[in-house]
Amino acid sequence: MSADAATGRTWWRWALAAVIVAVAAAVALWPQFTRHDDGNAATGSTPAAPTEPAVAEADRAAAALAACPQPTGAPVGDSPLRGLTLNCLADGKPVDLVAALAGKPALLNLWAYWCGPCAEELPLLQRFSQQAGNALTVLTVHSDPGTSRALSRLIDLGVHLPGVEDSNAKVRTAVHAPAVLPISVLLRADGTVAKVVVRPFTSVEDISATVAAELGVKA
């Protein structure tokens, strides 16, 4: 074999080796070029939103909360809460807030399981609700993701008012209330806001007087 032939075969071997190395490198890097900077596949998928832990039906049953109100078809005004749907604490089912409350005045009480003043106020609200009867709806709005802890807190307090879970504080945001608790939102019969009370009620008489002054409901 001539020296030129031997040199040619050596060149082809090196060329073939270089091609193999290049292909291997391309295969290794391929996933990086087919994913976005956020680590999602190039199909445009996004990470699933974190979900709240499931609430055991036994916990809901133990709380023995009153059922959430249901829509009656009553007319609804220009309420900032219009279209807002939250899950009922009693059974986990969605509640169209304004549609369910329309037809009579309502008191929405924003609270959380860790809030001390809320724990003092909630029993007062239950007593007031019993006193008001069908003249007005009292609905609690748990403004924290800890649904199971909310149910446990209500059991400890002996409070069985209907309530909804508002883990993202949508009600507070909608009525432009400050980031404090408790807050009470007084709604007229058409769902419009009559008053946002940014303080805890101190007695049943305090609740009655405020509701009478802002909603015209005497209880």
pLDDT band at residue 111 under the 50/70/90 scheme: very high
Can you tell me whether residue 110 is helix, strand or coil? strand
Question: If you average pLDDT over residues 74-89, what whole number do you get?
Answer: 96
Burial class (CB in 10 A: 0-12, 13-18, 19+), 50: exposed
Mean pLDDT of the chain: 84
Q: State percent of the chain over pLDDT 90.
A: 74
Lowest mean pLDDT of 32-46, 142-156, 186-200, name the range.
32-46
Do residues 31 and 139 both lie within one domain?
A: no
Q: Which domain holds residue 196?
A: 57-215
What predicted TM-score, i.e. pTM, was given to this entire model? 0.76
Can you tell me whether residue 211 is helix, strand or coil? helix
CA 108 vs. chain centroid, Å, equals 16
Do residues 127 and 26 both lie within one domain?
A: no
Q: Is residue 40 part of a domain?
A: yes
Residue 139 near residue 109 (C-beta atoms within 8 A) = yes
Q: State percent of the chain over pLDDT 70.
A: 76
Can you tell me whether residue 165 is helix, strand or coil? strand
How is the beta sheet containing 137-142 ordered, strand by strand? 94-96, 85-88, 163-165, 137-142, 106-111, 183-187, 193-197
Do residues 114 and 167 both lie within one domain?
A: yes
Quote the CA–CA distance of 76 and 64 in Å, as a whole number.
30
Contacts of 43 (CB under 8 A, 6+ apart): none
Is residue 31 predicted with pLDDT exceeding 80?
A: no
Is residue 25 predicted with pLDDT exceeding 60?
A: no
Do residues 104 and 198 both lie within one domain?
A: yes
Lowest mean pLDDT of 20-24, 61-65, 130-134, name the range.
20-24
pLDDT band at residue 125 under the 50/70/90 scheme: very high
End-to-end CA distance of the chain: 113
Q: Is residue 158 part of a domain?
A: yes
